[in-house]
Structure 1
Amino acid sequence: MSASDSLLCPRVHYLLSGTFNTLFLYLLAFSPYGPAGPTLTVHRKHRAEGPHQFLALSQDRKTAYATTWAQPPTLSSWEVLAGGRDGVAKVNTVPISATGSYLTVSPPSLGFSSARIYQAGGPVAQTFAADSATGGFGEQLQEVIYLDGGEEELRDPKTDKTRVALRYGSHAVDIDPVLQRAYVPHVGRDSIFVYSFNQDGTLHHLNEVPSHGNKGHEGPRHSIPSADGKKLYVVTEHTSYLDVYNVLPSPPYLSHAQRLSVIPPHQHPTRAQYRGDTLRLSADRRRLFVTTRGKTPRERGWVAVFDLAGDGAVREREEEGGEEGYGARSRFETRNSGGKANAIEAFPFAASDEARRGHDWVVLTDDEEGYVSVLEWRDEWDELREVASVRLGVDAPVEGEGKGEVSEEEKGTGASHAVWLS
């Protein structure tokens, strides 16, 4: 970068994206202050162990952890070099019992001897210790089995342990560091498993809470706690609702408080044609971003923005003639269905100055056409706007191996999930 470029672009943010159908991991560079406006480019690409469905980062953002849909089922870890500027380097791969879904890394505040890495997918969930020397996967400490037949059913060759099982199995381990709880939404059982932590970081079962709504038809997929741990936000895959639960100190541990629609009211008759996906808090914890996908290319997906009150409840926007439960602050219709993606990650670094409050960047991935986009929110805009995008498998990397080239192996790439490295 030249001196003049550095003046125009004082900060470049690096992201890492996986795909649903190729072997590559992509390093992306987001420049928010370019002379012609924000830009997003493919910085580097790495032949990895994909397709990589989901990524997670260590707390210091120096190690990335990845699931894969490749067989046999494994998880892999990658060293992040120079905040992403110099790419990533393989650390290690570990075997697991069934194809993985979402990964989560414990924060230091939980006080474990080393970070714990949690994964839930289909019939199982695992707890790993992070290797203190390399940051990669260390010893597997626990495996939780969500099958009535337990270990015997898990080892049965007829038991589905492929990526198909993710559609009706466990989907994520979401951590609340304040109340020291963990939550596992289970799509097929239509419930949310509630855990505390044992001293070694393994999960201690507290309860299985049925999902709110029409039992057997909701499919809780992803959750995130409020900043103080007193609320749990859950998105349902089959009905595209945001459910808000009060977190209780004793059984049943969760009590349903609110239900909001991710899709707008005029789409309610076709609600079954959408699939709820991911949700994330804004860096200042005042907003919640929630996504859904179209089931087929005919339906475009949505990103809904909800305002949060001081107690963590969703503050509905009142609109003339509006129906209760549809009061999102704003909604952004995505360029297409999103395919298997429309996954988001909000920019994680909170602004230090008051002037930056009410300003967010959100990265959105698209499986249908392979786009990775940065959406920007400003309170004064009162909406999300796409400010930059890049297309995996079409836009060539500007540095590193394969610079300026797109290989045949990359054609038709579907972006899965991206995380902010810096």
Structure 2
Amino acid sequence: MSMLLIPIRHCLLYPFTPFACEPVSGDLESMDLEPPVQVVFEQVLNATASPVHHILSGSFRSLSLFLLAFSPVKLTLDLVQTIPAFGPHQYIGLGPHTQNGDARVAYTTSWALPPKLHSWAIEQQSDSVHVRLLNSVDITATSSYITVPPPYSHLYSAGGPSAQVHQLPPASTPGIGPHVQEIYFVPTSEWDAADKTRKALRYGSHGIEFAFPAGSPALAFIPVLGGSTIEIYSRAEDGSLINIDSSPAPQRPGALAAEEDGPRHVKVHPNGRVLYCVTEHSNYLDVYTITPPAGQGPILTYVASRSLIPPRLREAEQDKTDAPKPTYRGDTLALAPSTPEKPAPESIFVTTRGGEGETTRGWVSVFRLDAEGMFSGDIENNPYLVERYEARTTGGKAHALDIKAKADDPDGGLWVILTDDSPPQPGVRVLEWDGWLWRGGGTRLREVVAWLPVGFYPSDTAKEGEPEQMAGGSHAVWLD
């Protein structure tokens, strides 16, 4: 794969981009990183040698975004472009493709202060992909999650004590538009004193997802980690959200109390009738049915749970001896994408991380789903219905997922991104999933390639013109 490196002046992303690079403000020491040298550059990918799929990734310990190219033929993962950004931990939400498919917009959060959201143009040509800044908007509290649900008219973000709604401008003038609404997860009387930094993500809101039940307005679900509730909203015609219900975490016999569950991330089945939730503290995947609001009945009804870690490890966690116990932190989840061959997802992928600063490895678990989105049979004891992959590291603060279907694979094969923030080799990994058809001779889920740079350059040793290097992947998404 040949690449061309084109240096560009430091102050502008591109000569025709009207937005100057902004310095990161706030206390960098509080972010546990050193400020790297911001060097703007572009590498243009010659993609004619073999087809590639592009990945856009953020990092916990560097300020840039990173564009990577994955070759499913060569099983390689290469850096294509480093895009100077404005803070660590960019969570990425993607807008839809344009009608001709040659452009879309990515929206990102960050941990930088003062808090902001950013939009980026992703321009795809026959032989290259470019990423450039569109605009940035101020928000009041550090956000952790961002999404653009149909009909793609509004942008929704959530983090810590609040969530935000922004209008999106017409496709001809992409970016982030006017602020529409702020939603609070603390009493308004406590808002001024509330922690609005990234630390509040540990006990505040951590995500937002939408369901579109037939005959009902769209519903939004926001897990609030510290309160162990899933807050439920109805979306109004102007894009704003109206709180209509609050669903507490389920009581688990012989396990943690509901208030200690820590719901972190949720996803909704394409049928709009099933919601999945990963709990950070208790390490479960919970499944709920969704009933559109009518009368006094609950909107979410708890159905079942599965452990994010193998049962033997859960038993070790609950062992009453004084021996050191492994600890885990439930993280995120992703449904297998719908395909013409398999319109209903057959699988849901979930992750957990080893305890921070420990040597306990994280896990990726895959659970088989039936046509209605429920667990298929006795998951824990049937290898045809569950797959578990022990990660190479703890995962650190990462272990985010994104999934892409393999081209022309009737067995449901997938490519899975797994981000890693744990030394000594943090970065972005690509896993391969063979589908549930058992072929024998090895695991159905395995790592095939990783991009593991050696770390970014601290400011006192950086060389003039050196690009910033990733130091731990945070969140990454497939762009095509």
Aligned equivalent of 2:179, options 131, 137, 140:
140
Cα distance in 1 for residues equivalent to 2:71 and 2:476 = 16
Q: Return the letter of the residue paired with 1:270.
A: E
TM-score, with length taken from structure 2:
0.76
- Residues 14-40 of structure 1, C-alpha deviations (whole Å, 9 max, x = no match): 110001121110000000002xxx111
TM (norm. structure 1) is 0.87
Which residue of 2 is the match for residue 14 of structure 1?
54
- Structure 1 letter corresponding to 2:207: A
Shift of 1:196: 1.6
Residues 395 and 73 of structure 1: CA distance in aligned 2, closer, same or farther (over 3 Å)? closer
Conservation of the 8 A alpha-carbon contact between 2:91 and 2:144 = yes
Identity over aligned pairs, percent: 41
1:200 to 226, 233, 238: 238
What is aligned with 2:394?
Answer: 337
Match of 1:266 in 2: 312
| 1:311 corresponds to 2:372 | yes
Note closer, same or farther for the CA distance 1:101–1:41 as it changes in structure 2 (3 Å cut): same
SS at match of 1:81: strand
Distance in 2 (alpha carbons) for counterparts of 1:289 and 1:31: 22
Match of 1:410 in 2: 469
Q: Is the 8 A contact 2:331 2:353 kept in 1?
A: yes
Alignment correspondent of 1:77: 119
> What residue number does 1:346 align with?
403
- Residue 216 of structure 1 deviates from its aligned partner by 1.2
Q: Report what 2:154 is aligned to.
A: 116
Indicate if the aligned counterparts of 1:170 and 1:186 stay in contact, CA closer than 8 A: yes
C-alpha distance after superposition, 1:372-416 (max 9, x if no partner): 0111101245621111110145599xxxxx9xx865x537x1110
Partners of 1:280 and 1:56 in 2: CA distance? 14
- Residue matched to 2:264: 221
Deviations 1:210-230 (A, max 9, x none): 011322110101011112011
Which residue identity does 1:65 align to in structure 2? Y
Q: In structure 1, what residue type is equivalent to 2:288?
A: Y
Instruction: Kindly indicate whether the alpha-carbon contact (under 8 Å) linking 1:127 and 1:140 is maintained by their aligned counterparts in 2.
Output: yes
Aligned equivalents of 1:221 and 1:57: distance in 2? 20
Distance 1:15 1:318, change over 3 A: closer
Residue 78 of structure 1 and its aligned partner are, at CA, apart by: 0.6
CA apart distance, 1:328? 5.6
- Identify the match of residue 329 of structure 2 among 272, 275, 281: 275
How far residue 317 of structure 1 moved from its aligned partner, in angstroms, is 4.7
SS of 1:314's partner is coil
Counting only pairs closer than 5 Å after superposition, residues 3-402 of structure 1 correspond to structure 2 as 9=50, 11-34=51-74, 38-60=75-97, 62-82=104-124, 85-108=128-151, 115-132=153-170, 133-148=172-187, 150=188, 152-154=189-191, 156=192, 158-179=193-214, 180-213=218-251, 214-250=257-293, 251-268=297-314, 269-270=316-317, 273-284=327-338, 285-296=345-356, 297-317=358-378, 322=381, 329-347=386-404, 353=408, 355-369=409-423, 370-379=426-435, 380=438, 383-394=444-455
2:260 partner SS: coil
CA shift in 2, pair 1:164/1:394, >3 Å: closer
Q: 1:238 to 1:346 in 2, by over 3 A?
A: same
Q: Is the 8 A contact 2:406 2:413 kept in 1?
A: no
Specify whether residues 26 and 311 from structure 1 end up closer, same or farther in structure 2 by C-alpha distance, changes over 3 A only.
Answer: same
Task: Find the aligned partners of 1:406 and 1:303 in 2 and give their Cα distance.
Answer: 35
Indicate how the Cα distance of structure 1 residues 8 and 245 shifts in structure 2: closer, same or farther if over 3 A, else same: same
Distance 2:348 2:70 in 1: 22
* C-alpha distance in structure 2 between counterparts of 1:116 and 1:107, whole Å: 9
Residue segments in structure 1 that go unaligned for 5+ positions in a row: 109-113, 397-401
Which secondary structure does the structure 1 equivalent of 2:77 belong to? strand
Task: Indicate if the aligned counterparts of 1:107 and 1:177 stay in contact, CA closer than 8 A.
Answer: no
**Does the Cα contact within 8 Å between 1:283 and 1:350 map onto a contact in 2?**
no
Name the structure, 1 or 2, with higher relative contact order (CA <8 Å, separation 6+): 1
The size of the alignment, in residue pairs, is 391
SS of alignment partner, residue 16 of structure 1: strand
Contact 1:395 1:406 in 2 (8 A): no
Q: CA deviation at 1:366?
A: 0.3
Change (3 A) 1:406 1:299: farther
C-alpha distance in 2, partners of 1:410/1:8? 26
Q: Secondary structure at the match of 1:30?
A: strand
Tell me what 1:399 maps to. none
Instruction: Give the counterpart letter for 1:30 in structure 2.
Output: F
Deviation track 1:51-84 (CA, whole Å, cap 9, x = no partner) reads 1331111021611111010100111111112179
Contact 2:204 2:224 in 1 (8 A): yes
Q: For residues 350 and 31 of structure 1, what CA distance do their matches in structure 2 show?
A: 12
Deviation, structure 1 residue 368: 1.1
Structure with larger Rg = 2
What's the secondary structure of 1:15's corresponding residue? strand
Unaligned runs of 5+ in 2: 3-45, 98-102, 252-256, 319-325, 339-344
Give the aligned residue type for 1:162: T
Distance in 1 (CA, whole Å) between partners of 2:159 and 2:207 is 7
- How far does the alpha carbon of each residue in 1:235-267 deviate from its partner, in whole angstroms, 9 at most, with x for none? 001111000001112331011000100100111
Cα distance in 2, alignment partners of residues 317 and 332 from structure 1: 19
More helix by share: 1
